[in-house]
Amino acid sequence: MRPGQRAVRTFVFAASCVAVSLAGPGEVLAIGRRRSTPSTPLAPTPTPAPAPSPAPAPAPGGSTFTFEAESQLAHQQGRRDGDGWSCNVAADSVNFLSFGPYTRAIPAGPAVATFRLLVDNHTADDQPVVTIDVFDPDASRKLAERVITRRAFGGAFAYQDFSLRFVAPAGNRLEFRTQWHDHSYVRQDRVVIAASPGASPAPSPAPSPAPSPAPAPGAGPVTATVVARTGDPGFFSLKSYQNVLVAGTYGTGKLYASSNGFARPVANLNVGESVYVMAEHGGYLYANTENRGEIWRSRFGTSGWERVFDGEPTAIGTGLVVHDGWLYACYTRLSDRSGRIFRSRTGQRGSWQHVFGNARQGTDVTLRELVVYGGVIHCLSYDYDGGIGGFYTSRDGTSWSWNARAELRNKRPIKAHVWNGALWISTSPFTTRRVRPAGVYRYDGQRLTVAFEDGARAVGTDIIDWNGDLYFCDDVNWRARSGRSALFRSPTGAPGTWSQVATFDEAEAMDLEVHGGRLYVATRQEGGHGKVYRMDNVAPSSASPAPAPAPAPSPSGGGSTRVIRPNGNSVDGGGGFLWKPESSSDGKLVVLAPAGLTGQIAECNVLRSNGDRIERGRYTGVHNGGREHFRFGRPGRDYPSNAICELVLRNGDRRHYVIPRPGERYD
């Protein structure tokens, strides 16, 4: 089973901030990957108090359905604990505490789902502890959702009921899911569904001082909520890393952290320019800066930053990407507009190899962005002498070729994003003198076509997908001092399908990132200030997240197991199984299932050689030749030798791919 994940996590901001809106009193700053609540991380199991209240009674003619967490729901994290199922911060990571049961028993019409939960400490902070939702896997949509924070509970080790109203569709399966956020010990007793016309929520045994839950997507107008401010020229880059969101600012490299979205300083990179782009590799967060093209890294994103690459005078760092286990970085020298590309397997100081660029090669061609598409590294570039944009490409990382694109005559490619089998590129005209339009181009490996143009603004900046749609932001102009930047959305990326969903007070919207299931926008204002916005209540314009699969077959299903052993590192060739120990997007393991099994897979797991499960993969859609993708929480090298990648099919059969050396690629 592959429930769609939505994690709400702690924020960290790297910013050149002078005036910053700080969090309120009483907050606890969480630094690093593993945190514990003030009470012991492995919480004891006292008898909950007060005693559980009765299940919600349905109105006449209605029905009540009870699903016990420990026995009738599925789990991705945690363990049986007394009368329920629990997760704790010492042993678990962000994932679903419970999900399922994929029931069709709920009759069509109004209903209420009541989740019974407890925490071990209800006063330490007010971070999100779980998100509860009702999900329709047949329609791939959430019917209701609520984020529950620590202070929503009225006491410690006291069960409390939290309810969601929803309308059950006719004949569809339903899931009642509890996403755990790794901020507190949480135990769940059960979920009770009261289904009847006019059903009302179950009574709660304790007061709930938390604010009203955020509306479900689409329940009202789109809102842009400010979660960070700075009196400096603004925020320049965003990156979701482990449990934090990191934001870099224009001009300096200070680091900011928060427990609820309002920035507070935690460190300083001591660089004199912007944090331009960030990437994760080998468990570290890397930042490429406009200060000499210096590269810094940190294991936690909030502390312990070290400089691992010195760059050179007049260089500005502009790109970072992971490809086949290597971290690639690029910079452009302002002195002659020539570009350089380097790579390293470890990211350590002294390990960087110079793989492209010299005094003549690439002269007057600036390097802008690194992205992997179709197994090929693309470095977005523009040739000032020729007045044309394009990209340098390389499959092996050492041999590079220039691909000038006639479609980008007098156009500069700025950033790129891979989505729905294509490379989407944001652009701006060559000149900076308020020439329009900003644009989006679609590239399929051969043809480059215009997807969208905004005649009101001059600079296309970032592009990303979220909730099944493609998003694009743009600026009034480079270093503009007035005007409003904007955010656009399309369900397909095709011309004529784009709509504006938000504008921002600042003239430049610089970067987009998805973190904790939400979209964030970084802005700046020349000579002024900048903000980070969280986009709330954005209804998907298309069928949103990738379809959730049918429930996994039970062990009693009687399926057979087929063991596949590689010949060297070869399994079944192109379009087949792929074990990629470090994905291009986050440096962690990604598994691609054979194209012939698409639509048949219920689970993808990594097992020990004795068959014990280590981790269940997170389903992320169908890409790369029609193959289902599953992502994991660590690089391949962190799994034991002779690990097994298990594909569980819906008919109960299993395929076990033996992986002798998990740090290597098998395909």
pLDDT of residue 49: 40
Asked whether the predicted pLDDT for residue 227 surpasses 70, the reply is yes
More confident position, 203 or 302: 302
For a pLDDT cut of 70, what percent of the chain falls above it? 79
- For 278, the enclosing helix (H) or strand (E) is strand 275-281
Contact 445, 398 (CB under 8 A): no
pLDDT of residue 387: 87
Lowest-confidence region among 49-63, 146-160, 349-363, 544-558? 544-558
More confident position, 291 or 269: 291
> Per residue in 446-478, pLDDT tens?
999 999 999 999 999 999 998 778 999 999 998
Asked whether the predicted pLDDT for residue 123 surpasses 80, the reply is yes
> Per residue in 364-413, pLDDT tens?
678 989 999 888 999 999 888 888 999 999 999 999 999 999 999 999 99
How many whole angstroms from its chain centre is CA 59? 41
Phi and psi at 406, nearest 5°, equal -60, -30
What 3-state DSSP class applies to 565? coil
pLDDT of residue 365: 78
- For 72, the enclosing helix (H) or strand (E) is helix 69-72
pLDDT of residue 89: 83
pLDDT of residue 518: 81
Asked whether the predicted pLDDT for residue 30 surpasses 50, the reply is no
The answer, as to whether pTM is greater than 0.85, is no
Contacts of 462 (CB under 8 A, 6+ apart): 414, 415, 417, 426, 472, 473, 509, 510, 511, 512
Query: What's the mean pLDDT in 415-427?
Result: 91
pLDDT of residue 18: 30
Q: Which residue has the tokens 């610089």?
A: 510
Nearest Cα neighbor of 65 from 176, 177, 186, 179 is 176
Nearest Cα neighbor of 400 from 370, 430, 444 is 370
Q: How confident is the model at residue 93 (pLDDT cuts 50, 70, 90)?
A: confident
How many other C-beta atoms are found inside a 10 Å radius of the C-beta of residue 263?
A: 28
pLDDT of residue 263: 54
Q: What is the mean pLDDT of the chain?
A: 79
Query: What's the mean pLDDT in 236-254?
Result: 79
d(CA 159, CA 186): 10
pLDDT of residue 358: 65
Nearest Cα neighbor of 27 from 148, 122, 127 is 127
Nearest Cα neighbor of 103 from 191, 187, 6 is 191
- For 141, the enclosing helix (H) or strand (E) is strand 141-149
pLDDT of residue 143: 87
Q: Which residue has the tokens 């969090």?
A: 23
Lowest-confidence region among 71-75, 471-475, 528-532? 528-532
pLDDT of residue 543: 37
Nearest Cα neighbor of 99 from 205, 244, 2 is 2
Asked whether the predicted pLDDT for residue 494 surpasses 70, the reply is yes
Query: DSSP state, 74?
Result: B
What 3-state DSSP class applies to 519? strand
d(CA 627, CA 576): 8
d(CA 328, CA 314): 20
Lowest-confidence region among 147-161, 219-233, 537-551? 537-551
Q: Using omega within 30 degrees of 0 as the cis cutoff, is the peptide bond preceding 635 cis?
A: no
Q: How far is CA 289 from CA 93, 279, 460, 510, in A?
A: 31, 12, 21, 15
More confident position, 653 or 174: 174
More confident position, 4 or 443: 443
d(CA 465, CA 519): 9
User: How far is it between the farthest Cα atoms of the chain?
Assistant: 83
pLDDT of residue 600: 84
Contact 384, 337 (CB under 8 A): yes
